[in-house]
Structure 1
């Protein structure tokens, strides 16, 4: 008898969508603007901050982004609204999925990178990648992970609040 987890297609848990497909060089960079997420493996995939584009609504915070090409299968939870570059997919998780579960699935999806490279991208097969079913998420994801994720959430939310300078 095997203790292997039950695997399901990524598309059976997440709704998979191709991103906005914008080109950074055609956008106006703005230090306090909207995150521009690309196929980068660094900085949560955020490669710049850009000005709002008329008629183009940013994607919602809380979605997961997956690089279909470039740094293939780099997967992140986006904490702020964002625009996306080319070959970037976003996953809409079930409404009841916690941040901890999203981070777990980022790790699981990223673990499949060895199957892809610049010659073989994950564009067509992303929704078919086999990942553990939600019933197979380890208990430590919710218990042990809560303290760490909670501490980081508090630290990160503090980064979004401007520091007020008091006169001396």
Structure 2
């Protein structure tokens, strides 16, 4: 028994080495194919919206009479709570795709009477609950997963705004 286990271990290590180092382009393609093939399970995903959520970032504070140039990249990505690793990819496939936002502009300070102008970027999300029903294609046995999702809003995923301060 130990000889068989040792032989199997050596074969697995050799195969892993071959895929990752000798033929890395094949390893990447094989991993993608394995992920996309749901041989054993089928999945049914439903989601229900509950509220809008936001995440605000201060971009800059520009003093009165000054100008600053700002270059920045931001990303609004899917967030999952209470999600086991084995179904994360399945849930993410049913949600809105990540959104990118690039800023390259001059930011100016406020008119006289104000000390500074603060610039902000708000990432807007839709929050809700998802339910995944995983069905074993051979036995028909089902398992239910429930969790919370945050997905970038399709309309106005980002809002840039400013506020003058005294």
TM-score (normalised: structure 2): 0.19
Higher fraction of strand: 2
TM-score (normalised: structure 1): 0.19
